[in-house]
Amino acid sequence: MNMIELILSRHSYRGKYLPVSVPRNDLREIVEAGLAAPSGCNKQTTSLIAVDDPSVLEQLYTAIGRPYEGTAPAMICVVTQKIMAYADRTFYIQDYAAAIENLLLAIVAKGYQSCWHEGDITGEDSEKGSQMAKILGLPADHMVVCYLPVGIAADEVNPRAKKPFAERAWLNGYQQEWK
Amino acid sequence: MNMIELILSRHSYRGKYLPVSVPRNDLREIVEAGLAAPSGCNKQTTSLIAVDDPSVLEQLYTAIGRPYEGTAPAMICVVTQKIMAYADRTFYIQDYAAAIENLLLAIVAKGYQSCWHEGDITGEDSEKGSQMAKILGLPADHMVVCYLPVGIAADEVNPRAKKPFAERAWLNGYQQEWK
């Protein structure tokens, strides 16, 4: 499968996972792909914590408010620091989002599945993210903004419906059709 | 080259480009990869405009404040709408950043180079982004937040220095070394 086919074959997976552990080497390759994402002014605001210790995973899922059972045998926690790129400008959201996309692609490339979980541990639910940060021993200036399960899917992976190409992509100007 | 090698081989390219046009089919594949990125609550807040018309490109580079000469023969303009995912929560920044990372990877996969240009047309320089939006004929609720040149590099592609792995990636807890 080439790169673009792989990009098109990635979908958010919300099913159960097989109880098969993820080798550390695979986790490391995935994490290296995440860190290879660009960052605004090369500030590298994103850090990553891979978790495969069952007791830590269980604590994290308790903080998240989901049963640990049936979840993936590994997780990547996406950590950010709101570092300024220049003046009052920071690109930390863009930085971690690009890193997450790399992680998701690398996860699928290695034969695993995942899903971008952000809204359920941030914003109104940021208390959950803070609990996770505490479990992981993070200093106060580091935030957990997302977690990605990593494991082999037990269920089918189904794409979500997307708007047609012509509603989101144009050539040389707004709503100008591709030829 | 496999997916992870390709992710690791992508670097921000700021050099000149060869005056060799990019086939429409390649642009289309790249744009499809961009649109395949996930989006918060599947809101698909990102749209893309590929530009390969020299007169439009020249107008855009004038708005950006850079000479058109020596630039890439194509550009992808990343357009966003600040649509709420739920309540007062929007993930439009995460959405377009994930789309941009897919675009950059697809660009490199097809043998081209690019660079994420965002800060120079947003924030303090958002007047430039507004000018670009006007040239492209975008409605008022659509913003141009980034442009990506697409072309064959004329110069060498060099990686930027990054922090060592151990400073950004840990196992099962903050600053816990990989084993």
In CATH, B3-157 is 3.40.50.300: no
Query: pLDDT by residue for chain A (179 residues), tens digit each?
Result: 789 999 999 999 999 999 999 999 999 999 999 999 999 999 999 999 999 999 999 999 999 999 998 899 999 999 999 999 999 999 999 999 999 999 999 999 999 999 999 999 999 999 999 999 999 999 999 999 999 999 999 999 999 999 999 999 999 999 999 98
Over range B83-103, report the average pLDDT.
96
From the list A4, A50, A52, the residue facing B33 with the nearest CB is A4
**What's the pLDDT tens digit per position in B61-80?**
999 999 998 899 999 999 99
The dihedrals phi and psi of B148, each to the nearest 5 degrees, come to -125, 115
User: Nearest CA to B103 among B2, B5, B12?
Assistant: B12
Residue B69: the pLDDT is 87
CB contact under 8 A, A109 and B2: yes
> Which residue in B94, B95, B142, B160 has the most chain A C-beta atoms within 10 A of its own C-beta, making it the best mutation to test that interface?
B94
Buried b (16+ CB within 10 A) or exposed e, B57-87: bebbbebbeeeeeebbbbbbbbbbbebebee
Do the Cβ atoms of A172 and B87 come within 8 Å? Answer: no
| Distance between CA atoms of residues B85 and B41, nearest Å | 6
Q: Which of B101, B120, B135 to mutate to test the interface with A (most CBs of A within 10 A)?
A: B101
pLDDT, position A69: 87
Do the Cβ atoms of A172 and B38 come within 8 Å? Answer: no
Q: How far apart are CA A107 and CA A22, in angstroms?
A: 11
Pick from B42, B137, B142: which is nearest to A160 by CB? B42
Residues from chain A that touch B145, judged by Cβ atoms under 8 A, are none
β partners of residue B48 = A169, B78
Which value does ipTM take for this structure? 0.97
Kindly identify which residue of chain B lies nearest to residue A36, measuring between CA atoms: B8
* pLDDT of B105 strictly over 80: yes
Residue of A nearest to B12 (CA): A38
Pick from A136, A173, A175: CB nearest B173: A136
| Number of neighbouring beta carbons within 10 Å of residue A159 | 11
Contact check, Cβ <8 Å, A3/B105: yes
Q: Is B133 helix (H, G, I), strand (E, B) or coil?
A: helix
In angstroms, the separation between the Cα of residue A73 and the nearest Cα of chain B is: 13
- Could you say which of B105, B106, B171 has the minimum Cβ distance to residue A50? B171
Q: Chain-wide mean pLDDT for chain B?
A: 97
Contacts 24+ apart (CB under 8 A), B161-168: B161/A42, B162/A35, B162/A42, B162/A44, B163/A44, B165/A32, B165/A35, B168/A35, B168/A44, B168/A46, B168/A47, B168/A48
- Counting beta carbons within 10 angstroms of the beta carbon of residue A115, is it exposed (0 to 12), middle (13 to 18) or buried (19 or more)? middle
Nearest beta carbon to residue B4 from set A2, A33, A51: A33
Identify which of B8, B32, B49 has the shortest CB distance to residue A174: B49
Is the CB of A178 less than 8 angstroms away from the CB of B28?
yes
Q: What is the pLDDT of residues B32-70, one digit of tens each?
A: 999 999 999 999 999 999 999 999 999 999 999 999 988
Name every chain B residue with its beta carbon within 8 A of the beta carbon of A56: 172-173
| Residue B1's pLDDT band (cuts 50, 70, 90) | confident
DSSP secondary structure code for residue B17 in this structure: B
Could you report the per-residue pLDDT of B141-156, keeping only the tens digit for each? Answer: 999 999 999 999 999 9
Sort out which chain A residues have CB atoms less than 8 A from B119's CB and list them. Answer: 40-41, 85-86, 89, 91
Tell me, yes or no, if the pTM score tops 0.95: yes
Q: Which fold is adopted by the domain A3-155? A: NADH Oxidase (3.40.109)
State what percent of residues in chain B have pLDDT above 70: 100
Q: A-B interface: how many C-beta pairs under 8 angstroms?
A: 203
Is the CB of B36 less than 8 angstroms away from the CB of A7? yes
Contacts of A4 in chain B (CB under 8 A): 29-30, 32-33, 106, 109-110
Cβ contact (<8 Å) for B50 and A171? yes
